[in-house]
């Protein structure tokens, strides 16, 4: 391969990667080309490593990179995406109350209908009502509990700040005139949400992910969201998109195992591999129908409760007064849960938002 | 000897008892050639920190290490003024009756009153290998700092001016991935995910590092380590742990993996009680 034809080939490769979801942006592509100048661009192994080192950014990128590399340079076809096609109804948040069939009066939901809607189970809503709930979720503001970080910042009280005291003293010829203080900075506590997207949760998964979107928006750098089904999928990047409709569209593309089974225990274990949970509030939204071994789920929940600041379980069925946590998964997890909250209605979601903001549960 | 290819570098690393794979050797080679920081991610104990130490030996530069932790700030990572000495200087000037304020100010903000912390040290010493260890432990404010320093290898000190590295140091960042590091920082770097070594390499490393180790013991330990890694443990042993384990066995005079000795030395490889139980119950330690 000579210099003239390398450039388009390599840039095309970076584009292929981008299309496959690897963050191979312009700067990284430039890095790739520079790396090739230092290696042998005619050597397959060198091209492989130059690309992998410059174009990938996280471990999940590497299998994708390998597939694209084989497809692009060996002409092996990319395996068709295993993700089932998911139809997503987009609800656009229009100022006067979302989708309406013609002829319906153009009034926003009144206070009393809103009050009724707030307590309704989201699984039983008409499309219009659902659109209204989605609109409210998109507008929802969730607060966030604060924690003291180890970083010290200037403050009115706290411990003495020798640097500032001495710095000011120097202006006065070495006489310390005023005491200065510093104190620990407050930071939003991290929240990690695991949303069960298996078949039994199908009626709630969409709404719960919209709720997750609201939670991410409140503190984007301190929130992580994963979907759990037969495998764990990280959705944080998708949910950081501001527009709810766009974010949900991306999310539905990203989840490969929509409406499958649940192996929560195994996924929790995969999740705990990287101790993202340390000191965080972990929210698990699931009905606890565990396909896998409940004792595994129990063991992982035990680990989780030792690492996390608080474990909150959101169960849509808890809204039913007759509900008892009897499913195997739920029973195994119960001893390790700090708050078990309902997850079926807007009112329940507001309670959850309150917990994240640091308020105590009314009836946990 | 000039480092003109990843293979040459791999050979040089090997001379210093560090056995690198093609990927890692290419990564380190490109980091040297392109002047880009190398971002190494991987589980604890796969040899990330060790690579930085060995590379420093290979290029003949001092290793400057910045261990990250939450709350790390510029005063600990970049530079700090030596306030006590500055005050002493002021008092001395006062006693000597010097009143020229301007001149005095120039004097106290002199380089000699500046304490260089690792990042500044790395820019000032030529050449240098800078190891920013466990960047995932620092908070995101610190990443912004680091990004600024790593993008043009300069530090501007308001009272003194800008300090620029004549030639950029070789920078190695490591992360155990307890959290995702900001993409802007990663974009500046070459990214390499370091995996556990394969069986053959692990045996080679054991033999290389522990001259008294027999090849039978090395193979048995490496095979047991591979089994432990496959058996879903809380903390699978890294190469650092396998080395410790083999060394513990050797210290007890073992020339093969004896189940009894394996059980009493297991603490060198597995650091969780649950993991030790799993390993014992499932017979993962058998030779």
- Taking CA–CA distances from B81, the nearest residue in chain A reads A163
pLDDT category at B118 given cuts 50, 70, 90 is very high
Rounded CA-CA distance A158/A163 in Å is: 14
DSSP A48-110: HHHHHHHH--STTHHHHHHHHHHHHHH-PPPPPP-PPP---PPPP--TTTS---TTS---PPP
**Interchain CB contact of B83 with A (< 8 Å):** yes
Higher-scoring residue by pLDDT: B163, B1? B163
Peptide bond into A306 cis (omega under 30): no
Cβ–Cβ pairs < 8 A, chains A and B:
99
**B34: number of Cβ within 10 Å:** 17
CA B229 to chain CA centroid, nearest Å: 23
Burial of A155 (0-12, 13-18, 19+ CB in 10 A): middle
As a whole number of Å, the end-to-end CA separation of chain B is 43
Residues of chain B found within 8 Å of residue A166, distances taken between Cβ atoms: 83-84, 86-87
pLDDT tens digits in sequence order for chain A, 364 residues long: 455 678 899 999 999 999 888 888 999 999 999 999 999 988 999 999 999 999 999 888 898 899 999 999 887 665 544 443 444 444 444 444 444 444 444 445 566 677 777 778 888 888 888 888 888 888 888 888 888 888 888 888 888 888 788 778 777 766 777 889 999 888 899 999 999 988 888 888 889 999 999 999 888 888 989 998 878 888 988 898 888 888 888 888 888 877 777 778 888 887 777 667 888 999 999 888 877 788 888 888 988 888 899 999 999 888 788 888 778 888 888 999 998 988 888 888 888 888 888 776 544 3
Rounded CA-CA distance B187/A313 in Å is: 37
Here the tokens at position B219 are 């193979």
What confidence score (pLDDT) does residue A232 get? 84
CB contact under 8 A, B183 and A170: no
**CB–CB of B142/B119 below 8 Å?**
no
CB contact under 8 A, B36 and A31: yes
* Min Cα separation B191/chain A (Å): 5
DSSP A241-259: SSSHHHHHHHHHHH-SSTT
ipTM value for the complex: 0.84
Rounded CA-CA distance A361/B3 in Å is: 63
- Tell me the CATH architecture of domain A191-356: 3-Layer(aba) Sandwich (3.40)
CB contact under 8 A, B86 and A34: no
CB contact under 8 A, A173 and B186: no
Q: Can you give the residue ranges of every domain in chain A?
A: 3-74, 149-187, 191-356
Q: Which residue has the tokens 């990843």?
A: B6
Q: For residue A111, what are the CA distances in angstroms to A1, A107, A124, B157?
A: 70, 12, 20, 59
């Amino acid at each position: 391969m000579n210099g003239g034809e390398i450039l388009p080939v390599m840039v095309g490769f970076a584009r292929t990667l981008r299309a496959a979801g690897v963050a191979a942006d312009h700067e990284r592509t430039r890095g790739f080309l520079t790396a090739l100048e230092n290696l042998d661009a005619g050597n397959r192994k060198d091209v492989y490593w130059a690309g992998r080192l410059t174009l990938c950014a996280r471990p999940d990128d590497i299998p994708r990179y390998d597939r694209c590399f084989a497809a692009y340079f060996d002409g092996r076809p990319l395996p068709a995406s295993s993700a089932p096609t998911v139809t997503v109804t987009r609800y656009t948040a229009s100022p006067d109350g979302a989708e309406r069939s013609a002829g319906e009066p153009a009034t926003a939901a009144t206070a009393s209908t809103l009050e009724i809607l707030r307590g309704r189970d989201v699984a039983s809503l008409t499309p219009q009502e659902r659109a209204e709930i989605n609109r409210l979720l998109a507008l929802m503001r969730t607060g966030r509990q604060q924690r003291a970080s180890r970083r010290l910042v200037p403050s009115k009280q706290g411990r003495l700040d020798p640097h500032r005291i001495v710095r000011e003293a120097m202006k006065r010829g070495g006489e310390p005139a005023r005491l200065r203080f510093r104190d620990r900075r407050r930071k939003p506590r991290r929240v990690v949400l695991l949303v069960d997207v298996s078949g039994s949760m199908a009626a709630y998964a969409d709404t719960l992910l919209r709720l997750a979107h609201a939670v991410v928006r409140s503190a984007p750098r301190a929130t992580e969201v994963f979907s759990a089904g037969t495998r764990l999928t990280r959705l944080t990047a998708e949910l950081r998109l501001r527009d709810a409709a766009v974010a949900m569209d991306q999310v539905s593309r990203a989840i490969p195992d929509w409406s499958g089974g649940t192996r929560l225990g195994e996924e929790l274990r995969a999740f705990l591999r990287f101790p993202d949970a340390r000191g965080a509030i972990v929210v698990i939204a699931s009905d606890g129908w565990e396909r896998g071994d409940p004792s595994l789920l129990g063991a992982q929940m035990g680990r989780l409760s030792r690492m996390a600041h608080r474990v909150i379980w959101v169960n849509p069925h808890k809204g039913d007064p007759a509900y008892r946590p009897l499913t195997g998964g739920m029973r195994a997890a119960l001893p390790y849960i700090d708050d078990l909250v309902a997850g079926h209605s807007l009112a329940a979601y507001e309670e959850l938002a309150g917990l994240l903001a640091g308020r105590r549960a009314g009836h946990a | 000897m000039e480092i003109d290819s990843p293979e040459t570098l791999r050979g040089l690393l090997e001379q210093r008892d560090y056995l690198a794979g093609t990927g890692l050797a290419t990564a380190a080679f490109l980091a040297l050639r392109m002047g880009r920081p190398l971002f190494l991610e991987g589980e604890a104990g796969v040899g990330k920190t060790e690579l930085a130490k060995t590379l420093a030996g290979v290029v003949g530069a001092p290793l400057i290490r910045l261990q990250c932790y939450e709350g790390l700030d510029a005063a600990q990572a970049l530079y700090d003024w030596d306030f006590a000495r500055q005050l002493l200087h002021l008092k001395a000037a006062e006693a000597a009756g010097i009143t020229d304020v301007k001149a005095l100010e120039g004097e106290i903000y002199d380089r000699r009153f500046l304490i260089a912390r690792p990042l500044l040290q790395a820019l000032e010493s030529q050449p240098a290998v800078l190891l920013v260890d466990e960047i995932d432990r620092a908070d995101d404010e610190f990443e912004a700092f680091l990004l600024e320093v790593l993008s043009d290898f300069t530090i501007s000190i308001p009272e003194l001016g800008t300090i620029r590295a004549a030639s950029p140091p070789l920078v190695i960042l490591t992360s155990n991935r307890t959290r995702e590091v900001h993409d802007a920082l990663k974009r500046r770097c070459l990214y390499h995910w370091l995996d556990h070594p394969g069986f053959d390499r692990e045996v080679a490393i054991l033999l290389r590092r522990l001259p008294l180790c027999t090849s039978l013991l090395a193979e048995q330990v490496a095979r047991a380590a591979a089994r432990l890694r496959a058996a879903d443990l809380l903390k699978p042993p890294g190469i650092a742990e396998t080395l410790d384990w083999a060394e513990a066995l050797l210290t007890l005079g073992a020339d093969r993996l004896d189940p009894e000795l394996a059980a009493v030395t297991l603490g060198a490889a597995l650091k969780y009680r649950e993991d030790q139980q799993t390993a014992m119950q499932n017979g993962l330690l058998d030779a």
